[in-house]
């Protein structure tokens, strides 16, 4: 008899959701394995704590891209959450469904059953958004709130967007994404609301759920073309566990393809180069890597107090007291305050650029150190990149990170959209409503005007905004890794349920789409268990 019915490899966003949904009936024995430890830190619950967690190796795997010519040989940080809850512990909490066209494009690309009409009920199932209209969920496990704090400079930016002809949009998740307003975030009463809060905590008491943290998965076990179990290390010991039904890979777009390749599943050239025995040929493993690439434009500002000054000394002490007494103030803020979804061309049917406005500026963005003088920043990201990269192992050792090659800005459409997005951002800041506040543009600076100059700024300074997807994409063609029911093609007893199955990028932050994939994936697993 096998140890469990299902083994969930990875206790991040998708893994926590599966752990809840698969154990709810009490019928199945489930093991949840997570390499990170239990998440006991005050910074997890405090929304602004993301800046502390993002640079902490206890909570972040700390992956880096390989140097690439497209970004002038730079390596770029790719943070990934480490610990139960995964990236919902350290991300900016921004909740974006994306556009209906995104999911219809998935279906057109071979992901049958994943069009918007099929996935929309799962968004409603997971949402608990009190402000929403009928199209939004109000009773789901994930509390969502609109950013509550209001600041004069943010209101002025929204007014400037209107002066530029951009529409107001109070709920970009209600069907029409275009426009400006305040972001929606995964919070409840001023605290971060992770999948641990929404899904795992209610399930932990169940006798049919076993949770092992500090368990680093080494490889999968196969009996011919069936995956029967896996090997993991914990506290210096190597342990083997088996599942009678399925192994469910929920390790994310970086580590799921890594585990498959370490286990002998993937492109023979990649696997055999590391001396690993080949189990099953799936050349698409680790390909189709897509991520959002963003630039940060910032300005020195005046006639207002920004987060730069409010986050140090006596002003910060006042904010700490306010947060603990009222759950309000700047400690409730994440990575975005005001959103903008814009079309860079009138010919487009839907927005192709996303803005993240916040009245703060970094002296050192990599270390999350704010300027001492007042500033504001607009992050600019192209929504649906066409550039494709890869993630492949470069060592047979599980603790060695894979080679991450995003190939940012390879596609001309990506370059065009990003440059136009930055130009529109500058134009909005130049509107009358902002003139009381703006002193001068720091980055890229007024001397940058031509297309090539804007592009050079992007190549020199752009970063990922932490949305890797696609490396085990679903579809029906020979290069698809998973089928539309998320089963690894050609292998029995093995499924992938995480961001790696997404065939195309969604228009915005990816955590909402990952949660939807997990909800729909759980339904598929339970349906197939009855066959």
* Alpha-carbon 56 to chain mean position: 18
Query: How far from each other are the two terminal CA atoms of the chain, in whole angstroms?
Result: 20
Q: How many CB atoms are located within 10 Å of the residue 164 CB?
A: 17
- By CB neighbour count within 10 A (0-12 exposed, 13-18 middle, 19+ buried), where does 349 fall? exposed
- Residue labelled with tokens 């300027």: 371
Q: Give 414-480 as a DSSP string.
A: HHHHHHHHHHHHHHHHTSGGGTTTEEEEEES-TT--SHHHHHHHHHHH-EE-S--B-TT-B-SSTT-
What is the three-state SS of 206-272?
CCCEEEEECCEEEEEEEECCEEEEEEEEECCEEEEEEEEEEEEECCHHHHHHHHHHHCCEECHHHHH
Asked whether the CA dihedral 51, 234, 259, 474 is positive or negative, the reply is: negative
Q: Which residues pair with 496 in a beta bridge?
A: 249
Please provide residue 104's backbone torsions phi and psi, each rounded to the nearest 5 degrees.
-65, -35
At 6, give phi and psi (nearest 5°).
-130, 140
Q: In what order do the strands lie in the sheet with 184-185?
A: 127-129, 142-146, 184-185
Around Cβ 338, how many Cβ atoms within 10 Å? 22
Residues 6+ apart with CB under 8 A from 513: 97, 98, 499, 502, 506
Asked if residues 278 and 267 have their Cβ atoms less than 8 Å apart, the reply is: no
Q: Look at the chain and count its residues.
A: 531
Identify the CA nearest to 183 among candidates 373, 336, 379, 377. 336
Give catalytic residues, as residue numbers. Answer: 467
Give per-residue burial for 421-438: e unless 16+ CB within 10 Å, then b: bbebbbebbebebbeebb
Nearest to 508 by CA among 342, 334, 363: 342
Q: Which tokens go with 445?
A: 């600076």
The residue to which tokens 């759920």 are assigned: 209
Task: For 170-194, give one letter per residue: b (16+ CB within 10 A) or e.
Answer: ebbbbeebbbbbbbbbbbbebbbbb
Residue carrying structure tokens 């993002």: 54
Answer yes or no: are the C-beta atoms of 310 and 330 closer than 8 Å.
Answer: yes
């Amino acid at each position: 008899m096998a140890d469990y019915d299902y083994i969930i490899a990875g206790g991040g966003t998708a893994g926590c959701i599966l752990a809840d949904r698969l154990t709810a009936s009490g019928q199945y024995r489930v093991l949840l394995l997570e390499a990170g430890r239990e998440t006991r830190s005050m910074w997890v619950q405090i929304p602004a704590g993301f800046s502390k967690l993002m640079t902490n190796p206890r909570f972040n795997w700390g992956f880096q891209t390989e140097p690439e010519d497209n970004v002038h040989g730079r390596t770029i940080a790719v943070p990934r959450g480490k610990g139960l809850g995964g990236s919902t512990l350290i991300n900016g909490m921004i909740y974006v469904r994306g556009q209906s066209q995104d999911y219809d494009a998935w279906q057109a690309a071979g992901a049958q059953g994943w069009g918007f009409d099929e996935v929309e009920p799962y968004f409603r199932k997971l949402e608990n958004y009190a402000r929403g209209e009928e199209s939004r969920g109000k009773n789901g496990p994930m509390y969502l709130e609109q950013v509550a704090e209001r600041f004069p400079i943010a209101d002025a930016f929204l007014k400037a967007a209107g002066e530029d002809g951009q529409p107001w949009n109070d709920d970009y998740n209600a069907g029409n994404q275009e426009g400006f307003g305040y972001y929606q975030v995964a919070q409840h009463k001023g605290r971060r609301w992770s999948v641990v809060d929404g899904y795992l905590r209610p399930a932990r008491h169940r006798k049919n759920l076993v949770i092992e943290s500090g368990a680093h998965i080494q490889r999968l076990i196969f009996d011919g073309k069936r995956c029967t179990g896996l090997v993991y290390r914990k506290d210096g010991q190597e342990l083997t566990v088996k599942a009678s039904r399925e192994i469910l890979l929920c390790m994310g777009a970086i580590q799921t393809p890594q585990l498959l390749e370490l286990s002998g599943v993937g492109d023979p050239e990649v696997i055999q180069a590391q001396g690993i025995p080949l189990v099953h040929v799936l050349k698409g493993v680790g390909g189709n890597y897509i991520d959002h690439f963003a630039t940060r434009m910032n300005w020195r500002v005046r006639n207002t107090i920004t987060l730069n000054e409010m986050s140090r000394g006596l002003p910060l002490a006042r904010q700490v007291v306010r947060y603990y007494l009222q759950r309000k103030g700047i400690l409730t803020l994440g990575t975005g305050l005001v959103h903008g979804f814009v079309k860079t061309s009138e010919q487009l049917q839907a927005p192709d650029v996303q803005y993240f406005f916040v009245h703060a500026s970094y002296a050192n963005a990599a270390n999350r150190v704010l300027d001492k003088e007042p500033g504001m920043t607009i992050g600019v990201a192209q929504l649906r990149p066409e550039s494709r990269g890869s993630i492949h192992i470069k060592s047979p050792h599980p603790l060695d990170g894979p080679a991450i090659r995003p190939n940012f800005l390879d596609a001309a459409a990506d370059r065009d959209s990003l440059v136009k997005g930055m130009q529109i951002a500058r134009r909005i800041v130049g509107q009358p409503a902002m003139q009381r506040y703006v002193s001068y543009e720091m980055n890229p600076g007024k001397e940058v005007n031509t297309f090539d100059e804007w592009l050079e700024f992007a190549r020199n300074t752009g970063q990922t905004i932490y949305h890797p997807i696609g490396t085990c994409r679903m579809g029906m063609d020979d290069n698809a890794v998973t089928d539309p029911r998320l089963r690894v093609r050609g292998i029995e007893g093995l499924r992938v349920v995480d961001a790696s199955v997404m065939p195309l990028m969604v228009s915005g932050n990816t955590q909402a789409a990952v949660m939807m994939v997990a909800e729909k994936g759980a339904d598929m697993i339970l349906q197939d268990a009855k066959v």
